[in-house]
Homo-oligomer: A and B are copies of this chain.
Amino acid sequence: MANITKKVSWSSRGDESGPAGEETPLLNGSEQSRPLTQVHQVLRSTLRGRPKEIPHNEKLLSLKYEVKPVASKIVIFSIIGSMRTSQCLIELIRASFLASLTHIFSDIVKFTEAGGLSISLILWVVLNCVFVMLGAIMVAFFEPIAAGSGIPQIKCYLNGVKIPRVVRLKTLLVKVLGVICSVVGGLAVGKEGPMIHSGAVVAAGVSQGRSTSLKRDFKIFEYFRRDTEKRDFVSAGAAAGVSAAFGAPVGGVLFSLEEGASFWNQMLTWRIFFASMISTFTLNFILSIYHNKPGDLSNPGLINFGRFESEVMEYNLYEIPLFMGMGALGGMLGALFNVLNYWLTIFRIRYVHRPCLQVMEAMLVAAVTATVAFIMIYFSTDCQPLGPDHNEEYPLQLFCADGEYNSMATAFFNTPERSVRSLLHNPRGTYNALTLGLFTLTYFFLACWTYGLSVSAGVFIPSLLIGAAWGRLCGILLTWADPGKYALIGAAAQLGGIVRMTLSLTVIMVEATGNVTYGLPIMLVLMTAKIVGDYFQEGLYDIHIKLQSVPFLHWEAPATSHWLTAREVMSSPVTCLNRIEKVGTIVDILSNTSTNHNGFPVVAQVSADDEPAKLCGLILRSQLIVLLKHKVFVELARSRLSQRKLQLKDFRDAYPRFPPIQSIHVSQDERECMMDLTEFMNPTPYTVPQETSLPRVFKLFRALGLRHLVVVDDANRVVGLVTRKDLARYHLGKHGLEELQLAQT
């Protein structure tokens, strides 16, 4: 008890809250308002180290300070969970809208039967194209980052890569409106990816307590205006999104962990789980009101795969190899999907980069989708009787006799979610084999063409639909079995083959079907699909991440990379700053586009001949910019106190849109001033010796969520700097370890 001395440490607050704490520009509470002292004094303290004794009651103050964020956090995580409400409402509105649209289609067909089919086709195509055009215009012209499912972007964000505008309010709006347009426009898309993305945006927004777009600052939750905190909230939001979409709170937590969090933190996981649970709960509550059964909180998520009853869905040991065969097939089909989409994306990057071209392509896809569906339905002869046990809520009669419905139309013109459910649950004989085969084929190519368009659209449900269709086909061909079971396995195999998730997807599928019996088969299928698929091509999300040249760090260092040491990997020579540095030098370094690092080692004294100097600390570009903006200079010549005080608040207010260096005006006089970095730098950055192997460096980055790591020699002198890009360059290709050329962006 007695021998614990309490000291002030500048970097201390940043340490307590998860990864990348070392990069946080925080000042310790007790010295926040201390004015900058005279240069002499600064220089003296520089020599003797800064920690000072402080009075005892500081501890109490600090304790109080700790409690508040925790309480706020719980509040925020609840809000995140329940803010999903808005999206649920949108979802319900859309569902009603869509139901009426299906009727319109039916009516169009009937109405125009007199006038000829061509008119009804044209009417339908035009209707679809208009919706898709609206969606595509929003995305292409206003917020291109809102295109696609958003999962690759969230993956990168959680991995620690800052992608601009991913979690902005504008992105959220475009995303939500865009996905409504895509789904209503009849494209082969799902809404799950966008839901997960928008969950993440809501979380990020709520946690900051302000909107920079709306220029409103509610002055709350200021504590969380830091990258690491925001990242925690984003992972909770993504989990809540999964939870609401699939009714899978545990699956949501595992999704966040599998895709994002590198540092397993119990409290964080607990909060994520809490947000997921609240999200499921809120959704259930709203759905119970919508279904006129308030209080019945046992509804699953928005996508209801229907409950599988154990009695009818038993499986036997001999079926497991069969399932694994289907897993392999799913892996191959998934790889084919990914290869085709890869080529398509390359083509798009080269030739379809103008917004108006993108809108036109989206409209073309919409027209083709509608036409193909129309033709398929027209030539389909798969009319099924409307029996008492049919599960269709909106059976489409179309060209069938009265009392029958067209099963091809059921597959094509329902929402994809409802089609999946009917494939999984409808009794034998609802679909014939030809219908399923043709549907699989056309939908496969349509979905492949659709993913990557400039519309807001997910790939989850289309994959499930393709898989369920060919899975049911397998089930029908193996005549003794229940086709619904095989449809489930096929859906898992196809989705696993495309996105290559395993752990979280197993749990999501188990939770969405409400039956743990299929846990092991689904797991084996997903594993097989991943192994087979990885043999040919990467997962779809990884392909898109790679095409965007993002320095994405995978879970482990590439095998065989232990031949490499930090010396080979690091960037060298590295731009260092002195503890007391001339303002002009700092401005020049920040303006220099070739030194585009975000962190700079601070050293004792940069020598003239570029000899390495002893490491003192690390300072971030954003910190330097805030310091310059507030002109925290000391003027050596006059040897007087600089009047400018800098507080914690100044750093938080600037977050997250730090101004570029060009916008900060520094006069010629000011360029001659000095800036004392000692008080603002992180005095104990993580370092490694030069001989450290790459896997070891990699582990530090992953476990601690670092962005820069200083490489020192055996006398603690700076010899280099390892950044995420340096690590992401190496990956295991077909010919062993390969080094990528990353774009200099």
Contact = CB atoms under 8 A, between A and B. Distances in A.
Given A59-B736, A249-B516, A314-B296, A696 B560 contact: no
A502 to B, nearest CB: 6
A41 interface: no
A507 B520 CA distance: 18
Contact of A556 (B16, B59, B527): B16
A229 interface: no
A7 B564 contact: yes
A87 interface: no
Given A315-B297, A699-B704, A277 B520 contact: yes
A273 B516 CA distance: 13
B5 A274 contact: no
Contact of A565 (B51, B317, B695, B735): B51
B716 A267 contact: no
Contacts of A730: 4
B265 A555 contact: yes
A1 B560 contact: no
A9 interface: yes
Interface in A1-59: 1, 3-9, 11-13, 15-16, 21-22, 49, 51, 59
Contacts of A281: 520
A511 interface: yes
A269 interface: yes
18 contacts: A3-B568, A3-B739, A4-B563, A9-B563, A11-B693, A12-B695, A16-B695, A22-B696, A62-B560, A249-B516, A265-B555, A274-B523, A295-B316, A295-B317, A298-B515, A684-B696, A703-B704, A712-B716
A148 interface: no
Interface stretch (A155-163, A255-263, A328-336): A255-263
A201 to B, nearest CB: 24
A66 B559 contact: yes
Bin chain A's interface residue count. 35 or more
Contact of A716 (B22, B258, B714): B714
Contacts of A62: 560
Contact of A15 (B684, B693, B704): B693
Given A7-B565, A714-B716, 14 more contacts: A4-B730, A5-B568, A9-B565, A21-B699, A49-B691, A66-B560, A263-B703, A266-B503, A267-B555, A269-B503, A280-B519, A683-B691, A684-B691, A687-B687
Interface string A257-299: 1100111111101100110011011000100000000011110
B314 A297 contact: yes
A738 interface: yes
Given A516-B249, A714-B614, A7 B503 contact: no
Contacts of A735: 1
A514 B314 CA distance: 17
A221 B502 CA distance: 26
Nearest to A74: B527
A608 interface: no
A461 interface: no
B249 A519 contact: yes
A557 interface: yes
A461 to B, nearest CB: 21
B502 A562 contact: no
A737 interface: yes
A557 B267 CA distance: 12
A715 interface: yes
Interface in A535-572: 555-557, 559-560, 562-565, 568
Contacts of A16: 556-557, 559, 562, 695
A310 interface: yes
A304 interface: no
A3 B739 CA distance: 9
A9 B693 contact: yes
Contacts of A249: 516, 519
Interface in A687-734: 687-689, 691-693, 695-696, 699-700, 703-704, 712, 714-716, 730
A503 B699 contact: no
Nearest to A7: B563
A516 B281 CA distance: 11
A13 B562 contact: yes
A506 interface: yes
